[in-house]
Amino acid sequence: MNEQAKGNGVPLSAHVREEIDHWVAKFPEGRHRSAVIGALHAAQHENGGYLTPEIMTAVAEYLKLPPIQVFEVASFYSMFETKPVGRHSISVCTNISCMLRGGEEILAHVEKRLGIKAGQSTPDGKFYLKVEEECLAACCGAPMLMIDHVYHENLTPQSIAEILELVKD
Ligand code: FES
């Protein structure tokens, strides 16, 4: 792909370029737009959990796409953040199965424990509590939440305390 992609002076690391190449190779020739989600995921992970306009521009340049085609994906999907957030992302599912099994109480409990509301990060920058999460496809383990892509199911207030304690800085 485009080795010179720098996104207004912000270069993509060799690792992120490697990840993007990996995703591009999964799709037919000329369909590299399909790699945008994988590319943004890799770039966001390396940038501490959020994307900047410069990084999104660099991804667009690397994939030889108009920047709008990258920006619109980043702003549409809930797994992408376009402003600085805490290092560890927490998603509490409050969709139907989880709601019926106490998901909203779980969210309230996490908010109280962290001292923040959904959509905010803790002052020390450790946690980010996502504003809302749709079904994460673990309904049989409701209520559940996800921290940094790891699922925790059949939650109780006690298990939440233990789970949060185990998250390293
Ligand atoms: S409703 Fe929560 S995982 Fe499906």
Which ligand 1 atom lies nearest to the CA of residue 95?
1
Rounded to the nearest whole angstrom, what is the distance from the C-alpha of residue 98 to the centroid of ligand 1? 5
- pLDDT value at residue 130: 94
The proportion of the chain whose per-residue pLDDT surpasses 90, expressed as a percent, equals 85
**Entry pTM:** 0.81
Sheet holding 150-152, edge to edge: 127-129, 88-92, 145-147, 150-152
Q: Confidence band (pLDDT; 50, 70, 90) for 1?
A: low
Over range 130-138, report the average pLDDT: 89
Ligand 1 near 164 CB (within 6 A): no
Give the model confidence (pLDDT) of 66-116 as tens digits: 999 999 999 999 889 999 999 999 999 999 999 999 999 999 999 999 999
Cα distances from 29 to residues 23, 25, 34, 127, in angstroms, run: 12, 8, 11, 40
| Mean pLDDT for all residues in the chain | 92
Ligand 1 contacts CB of residue 93 (under 6 A) = yes
pLDDT (tens digit per residue) in 141-156: 999 999 988 999 999 9
Which one-letter amino acid corresponds to residue 50? Y
List all residues 6 or more positions away from 161 whose beta carbon is below 8 Å from its beta carbon: 113
Among 133, 136, 152, residue to substitute to test ligand 1 (most atoms within 8 Å of Cβ): 136
Residue 138 beta carbon below 6 angstroms from any ligand 1 atom? yes
b/e code 73-96 from CB counts within 10 Å (16+ = b): bbeeeeebbeeebbbbbbbbbbbe
Q: Is the CB of 95 under 6 A from ligand 1?
A: yes
Q: What pLDDT does residue 169 have?
A: 83
- Say what the pLDDT of residue 3 is: 47
Return the percent helix, strand and coil in the chain, to nearest 5. Answer: 45, 10, 45
Confidence of residue 8 (pLDDT cuts 50, 70, 90): low
* Ligand 1 center to 130 CA (angstroms): 15
Interval 31-74: pLDDT, tens: 999 999 999 999 998 998 899 999 999 999 999 999 999 999 99
Ligand 1: atom nearest CA of 133 is: 2
Residue 5 has pLDDT above 60, yes or no: no
| Tokens representing residue 72 in the block | 């619109």
